[in-house]
Chains A and B, each alone.
Chain A
Amino acid sequence: DAGVIQSPRHEVTEMGQEVTLRCKPISGHDYLFWYRQTMMRGLELLIYFNNNVPIDDSGMPEDRFSAKMPNASFSTLKIQPSEPRDSAVYFCASRLAGKNTGELFFGEGSRLTVL
């Protein structure tokens, strides 16, 4: 079975450029999460969706970050304009509603470097 699929796996860009990260959750999963991981701050929740609706975006650092989920099989995280401090690994994860197992299924991550 296909897991959570993220693209691109690696992105190197220059400060000021727009970055778009993409995620395809596991089919049938109701929740989708975007996390950011850095050495300094660990794994931070940015935003999550339930049935394509954003529920909590309090973790989004600032207005430069935006996320959308136009349908159940696709989500994007956009950074515009990007800054060097945005360099991190961005993970997308999904899970089923009603399953109290605490199991999130993560994608392999998108490693972003902003020069």
Chain B
Amino acid sequence: RKEVEQDPGPFNVPEGATVAFNCTYSNSASQSFFWYRQDCRKEPKLLMSVYSSGNEDGRFTAQLNRASQYISLLIRDSKLSDSATYLCVVTVSGSARQLTFGSGTQLTVLP
């Protein structure tokens, strides 16, 4: 079983739609959680951290469920520019904060 699993998609949604991605992790010792965004043929970049209480950044909402070991990302009012691959990232305690990346979920927002 992979340490971090994501639905690869692709998710094709119209502009203005709300879309949600889930990610599950296998190691219960995981400490920190993040979403990264990777545009086509570009490098990954941090989108947002995921806090236990849930957090928002504009149209983006991230949530963490430690009991079920999953993380979610909700994008409201999606824009064409949101088209990218979204990578779920987890760090495990005792690993000098190495980040383990999921394989990513591909999103295409259609006009």
Contact with A along B30-63 (1 / 0, CB 8 A): 0011100000001111100100000000000000
Indicate if the CB atoms of A42 and B102 lie closer than 8 Å. Answer: yes
Contact with B along A30-56 (1 / 0, CB 8 A): 000001000001110100101000011
Q: Given contacts A43-B87, A43-B101, are A109 and B43 in contact (CB under 8 A)?
A: yes
**How many A residues, CB 8 Å from partner?**
19
Indicate if the CB atoms of B98 and A45 lie closer than 8 Å. Answer: yes
Indicate if the CB atoms of B32 and A55 lie closer than 8 Å. Answer: no
Give the complex CA separation of A35 and B103 in angstroms.
Answer: 13
Indicate if the CB atoms of A102 and B34 lie closer than 8 Å. Answer: yes
Point out the residues of chain A lying under 8 angstroms from B101, CB to CB.
35, 42-43
Q: Given contacts A106-B43, A108-B43, are A101 and B98 in contact (CB under 8 A)?
A: no
Indicate if the CB atoms of B96 and A42 lie closer than 8 Å. Answer: no
B87 to nearest A CB, angstroms?
7
A25 to nearest B CB, angstroms?
14
B1 to nearest A CB, angstroms?
14
Give the complex CA separation of A8 and B11 in angstroms.
Answer: 33
Indicate if the CB atoms of A102 and B103 lie closer than 8 Å. Answer: no
Give the complex CA separation of A91 and B87 in angstroms.
Answer: 15
- B→A interface (CB under 8 Å): 32-34, 42-46, 49, 87, 89, 91, 96-104
- A→B interface (CB under 8 Å): 35, 41-43, 45, 48, 50, 55-56, 91, 100-104, 106-109
New contact pairs (12) apart from A35-B101, A108-B42, CB-CB < 8 Å = A42-B102, A48-B96, A48-B98, A50-B96, A101-B49, A102-B34, A102-B46, A102-B49, A102-B97, A104-B99, A106-B43, A106-B44
